[in-house]
Structure 1
Amino acid sequence: MYLIGALLTAVTPNFLIMVVGRFLYGIGIGLAMHAAPMYIAETAPSQIRGMLISLKEFFIVLGMLLGYIVGNLFVEVISGWRYMYAASAPICVIMGIGMCWLPCSPRWLLLCATQGKGDLRETKENATRCLCRLRGQASPDLVSEQVNLILEELSYVGEEKKAGFSEIFQGKCLKAMIIGCGLVFFQQVTGQPSVLYYAATIFQECWILWSI
């Protein structure tokens, strides 16, 4: 969807096609924004899991910065905005090719097996191979131990009692909700989204970039 959205926006003959292209591009961003941290959380070692998820956010912001830089390069070019949107197409291709080599999440494979969607023994071997690819030079014994640990954790999934809505406001759940909602609230209150939306106008008014 990234690639289709980028190409549609770059070659759009009218405003309607541009809206469709941006809509598809937005869906691609939404899927990646949720799938990437989930994949990292399920596959990364616990020692560096938080750092890798934080790096994902770092590269999102870096991409925004590169967008302003690319936009500034094409600002004086006739129909330069088309080149600006098309510049993301090669990145989409690289991302798509890279995803073809990503192994499946071992945790997801084992979860499917525990739910009766495949042979457990065969799935366990497949999950071990995937985890070996993800861990690189890790010893097979260590990988097998991690696979068994994941299976042990998944064995409790169906045994946990269902939580009610009221439990959100109790104990550890309440603390987590306050922290999560508080971070989002203060992010909005500080005006960060407004600065991002009007960054081009702010730069122009401040004479930081002369040709935005």
Structure 2
Amino acid sequence: MEENGATRSSMEETTVLESQQLHNTSSRLNKYSLACAILASTNSILLGYDIGVMSGAVLYIKDNLKISSIEEEILVGSLNVCSLIGSFASGKTSDWIGRRYTIVLSAITFLIGALLMGLAPSFPILMAGRVIAGIGVGYSLMIAPVYSAEVSPARTRGFLTSLPEVFINVGILLGYIFNYAFSSLPPHINWRLMLGLAALPAVAIALGVMRMPESPRWLVMKGRIGEAKRVLIKTSESEEEAKQRLDEITKAVSDWDGKGVWKEILRPSKPLRRILIAAVGINFFMQASGNDAVVYYTPEVFKSAGIRSRKGLVGVTVIMGIAKTSFVLVSAIFLDHYGRRPLLLLGTSGMAFSLAGLGLGSTFLEHSHKKPLWAISLCVLAVCADVSFFSIGLGPITWVYSSEIFPLRLRAQGAALAVSVNRLVSGVVSMTFLTISKKITFGGMFFVLSGIMVTATIFFYFFLVETKGKSLEEIGSLFEDNEDQNKHKVREMRETSET
């Protein structure tokens, strides 16, 4: 009896050790899928760089081209509005020519826009370059997370799909740094260098992306099963895992009943309606938070707070960029451990408090002639906290969530629709931020944004499900109610028995 007990105990210990080894193996990050996600995500540097560099460049464009505040808002916000064209077209384009070539198209479009902006002799030419760059940005915002999600194993998808947001923040920081570096040059030269410099990484990105493989899910949709299998073997820990992923993808494609994609989206079933509400909602609140506007107009906000030096204004934005980039890395690292919902709820509630603090500091400074140091410091800290909480929650998780919750057949167009809402709201906020702030003051504007973040926190608590650790093919069932799930199980049992 004792011998049997010892044997059983030894077997249990062996089983525990084997399960721990399996867990350690499965938690490893696949280097090939990491390289693919990094290459796809580098395109996002271009958007980030434009956001960061324009916040400083517009100070010198106003002096050099003598543009009004309304023209400044149109210049800043037009990139976001025009990116609607790219994001809306990206779904059809990526289903037609593939995810990889869509990323190349995005980089080339941005390259043309950056060259036009850098060489612009007048405001209309500058606007033309901005419009073209915006179309490229729209393509990039949809396709980079979708490609990263489709090439990633389920256990590390959160980290890999959040990389586009990491690179956006790296781009913003680079934009701030080049603003500071070129700020001492003459006003008719510095802003041209700031904007035109984005052409160089666009060329490098287009060439680099050509070396990465196509999305295995797109390949299966096109019937190229052999190519898809080769990519899945490289992005999986074993051939068994690759085969399992291929079987799931093939089943998801074969389940499509042939209905038109847009017809299905515009007349959705109950589960798809829940997916659309979640995807559109998270993209709406990402931009309704005012984060893009806060980044674009930080110099204006701090100027009203009492910081007068141009170099000082640009220097403060560098500090903000460092905080923003640091915290998006923290989110990316822990996203697959803690899940989407906890970090998202932490981020939006933190933004609500930060924006309320910024509103208090701004309101005090607007009614004070002395501009005390403590109030200025409060505003600087509140802005840094706001962008940091954004980088923990809404920033990376919006792209992750939008790219993973749609079924394969609807993923490109569904994500494109969600990103189009994102771009529309971003454009509206960016193009009205200064005008509304002049009517209700910066302090009043920040209190409004704080209220929006409270609403966002409530929305996410009730409407977003957790997707951590689920394969892309499993996520759809999370949005089904009990009746739908029962039907799904019955269908699976019937298929199994027939097999």
User: In the alignment, which residue of structure 2 is the partner of 1:72?
Assistant: 180
Shift of 1:159: 7.2
Taking only aligned residues, the RMSD between alpha carbons, in angstroms, comes to 2.9
Q: Distance in 1 between matches of 2:156 and 2:169?
A: 20
Question: Is the counterpart of residue 128 in structure 1 residue 229 in structure 2?
Answer: yes
Question: Is the counterpart of residue 36 in structure 1 residue 140 in structure 2?
Answer: no
Identity across aligned pairs (percent)? Answer: 33
1:147 to 219, 225, 246: 246
When residues 181 and 146 of structure 1 are mapped into structure 2, their CA distance, relative to the original with a 3 A threshold, is closer
Shift of 1:144: 3.2
User: In the alignment, which residue of structure 2 is the partner of 1:109?
Assistant: 219
Question: Is the counterpart of residue 198 in structure 1 residue 306 in structure 2?
Answer: no
Q: Distance in 1 between matches of 2:265 and 2:220?
A: 27
1:1-212 → structure 2 map (5 Å cutoff): 1-78=109-186, 79-113=189-223, 123-135=224-236, 138-158=237-257, 170=270, 172=271, 176=275, 179-180=278-279, 182-184=281-283, 186-187=285-286, 190-206=289-305, 207=307, 210-211=310-311, 212=314
Q: Distance in 2 between matches of 1:30 and 1:74?
A: 28
Q: Verify the 8 A CA contact 2:113 2:133 in the aligned structure 1.
A: yes
- What is the letter of the counterpart of residue 158 of structure 1? D
- What is the letter of the counterpart of residue 233 of structure 2? C
TM-score (norm 1): 0.77
When residues 182 and 34 of structure 1 are mapped into structure 2, their CA distance, relative to the original with a 3 A threshold, is closer
- 1:30-82 deviation per Cα after TM superposition (whole angstroms, max 9, x unaligned): 00111111111211111111222223223223322321221122122121011
Q: Distance in 2 between matches of 1:141 and 1:187?
A: 39
Per the alignment, in what secondary structure is the counterpart of residue 257 of structure 2? coil
When residues 92 and 145 of structure 1 are mapped into structure 2, their CA distance, relative to the original with a 3 A threshold, is same
Q: Verify the 8 A CA contact 2:147 2:215 in the aligned structure 1.
A: yes
When residues 149 and 165 of structure 1 are mapped into structure 2, their CA distance, relative to the original with a 3 A threshold, is closer
Shift of 1:94: 2.0
Structure 2 gap segments, 5+ residues each:
1-108, 315-499
Shift of 1:201: 1.4
Q: Distance in 2 between matches of 1:208 and 1:131?
A: 55
Q: Distance in 1 between matches of 2:167 and 2:308?
A: 24
Instruction: Name whichever structure is richer in helix by fraction.
Output: 2
When residues 90 and 208 of structure 1 are mapped into structure 2, their CA distance, relative to the original with a 3 A threshold, is farther
- What is the letter of the counterpart of residue 209 of structure 2? M
Q: Distance in 2 between matches of 1:39 and 1:12?
A: 34
Q: Verify the 8 A CA contact 1:103 1:133 in the aligned structure 2.
A: no
Which structure carries more relative contact order (alpha carbon 8 Å, separation 6+)?
2
Q: Distance in 1 between matches of 2:299 and 2:293?
A: 11
When residues 185 and 9 of structure 1 are mapped into structure 2, their CA distance, relative to the original with a 3 A threshold, is closer
Per the alignment, in what secondary structure is the counterpart of residue 31 of structure 1? helix
- What is the letter of the counterpart of residue 29 of structure 1? V
Q: Distance in 1 between matches of 2:110 and 2:288?
A: 31
Shift of 1:25: 1.0
Q: Distance in 2 between matches of 1:142 and 1:61?
A: 33
Per the alignment, in what secondary structure is the counterpart of residue 200 of structure 1? helix
Larger Rg computed on CA atoms: 2
Per the alignment, in what secondary structure is the counterpart of residue 77 of structure 1? coil
Structure 1 gap segments, 5+ residues each:
114-122
- What is the letter of the counterpart of residue 124 of structure 1? I
TM-score (norm 2): 0.36
